[in-house]
Amino acid sequence: MPGYQSVAIVLKAFSATRGTRRLYRWLGNRVGQDWRKKEQALFYPERGIWLIDCLAELGLALTPSSRVLEVGTGWMHFYAIFLRLFSTPQITVFDVVDNRQLSALQWRFCKISEYLATHSSLDEEKINAIKELTRRIAAVSTFDELYELLGFTYRIDPVGDLGGFEENSFDLVFSFDVLEHVQRDILGDSIAAYYRVLKPGGYSIHQVALDDHMAQYVKGASPKQFLSYSEFSWKLRFENRLQHINRVPHSEYLALFENCGFEPVQVSALREPESIQGLSIAKQYRNMSLEDLEATRSFLVHRKPVGK
């Protein structure tokens, strides 16, 4: 597919050196900030509500003494801030690269109370409290002011090392659209690190995008386009350091979490059968289960056993 290959060539070119990677980040922050102000992206609050509903179903009441870690917090800390609208835990936002965009973040939250008023069962008092907090978010001029307002701690480590966090220190570790970007050979180590920093009885909640991110830029490309390529072809022609996709299937995530000692609580996959219709599947994937082939998103809720 020519368009798909073209996207890969551009990303490989930007991946070539530290300087080109820095240029890519700079362009993303300068151009992306304006674009993201125009983008509707209703999936952000929809997934945020899923997180809140998850916590309610688990009976996990976050208090001011609770400690929460968001890994791969991204350019606007959306899910950490969304969680903060509903409770007041101590939240640490963690990432491997600084993509923060304050004005786009403020724009994203400016109308969140209106969305919640029509898409949730919150009462008027809670909606007004959220409206006041988002008004204060809109008034800050720096990220330091934002963190002081919300009680956040921002941490960054280029290799994603959680070694600086104490064992058994968090009540909740969560992420959205992050694990698919972790190199396959260290994915198990990352999940083991989540296990280490969680308190016994603590929860690990993750949504993982199992679709092909590069296909989003190419009209007519399948959401599972990457299944068409062998490991050799993928590494040679498509793999890059800026939008790395590990191509790990749903069932493998389940096995990795359980191998690290986690107990599954709620695990499922969104399946889109049309995503593989007419797609030529590479030999290495032909023995994969139909669920793994069709899955475009994993929903993973696990618990660290008490006494561990």
Confidence of residue 142 (pLDDT cuts 50, 70, 90): very high
198 or 160: which carries more pLDDT confidence?
198
For the stretch 242-301, pLDDT in tens is 888 999 999 999 999 999 999 999 999 999 999 999 999 999 999 999 999 999 999 999
Q: Is residue 130 pLDDT above 80, yes or no? A: yes
Domains annotated for the chain, with CATH where assigned, are 2-39+161-303 (3.40.50)
Give DSSP secondary structure letters for 145-205.
HHHHHHTEEEEE-TT---TTSPTT-EEEEEEES-GGGS-HHHHHHHHHHHHHHEEEEEEEE
pTM of this prediction?
0.93
The DSSP secondary structure of 200-256, one letter per residue, reads EEEEEEEEEE-S-GGGGGSTT--TTGGGGS-HHHIIIII--SSS------HHHHHHH
Name the phi and psi angles at 165, rounded to 5: -100, 140
For the chain, percent helix, then strand, then coil, each to nearest 5?
50, 15, 35
Burial class of 277 by CB neighbour count within 10 A (0 to 12, 13 to 18, 19+):
exposed
Neighbours of 233 (CB within 10 A): 12
| pLDDT one-digit tens code per residue, 169-188 | 999 999 999 999 999 999 99
Per-residue pLDDT at 125:
95
Percent of the chain with pLDDT over 70: 95
The whole-angstrom separation of Cα 216 and Cα 28 is: 16
Quick one: pLDDT at residue 220?
87
d(CA 121, CA 199): 31
Q: Which of 21-35, 69-83, 113-127 has the lowest mean pLDDT?
A: 21-35
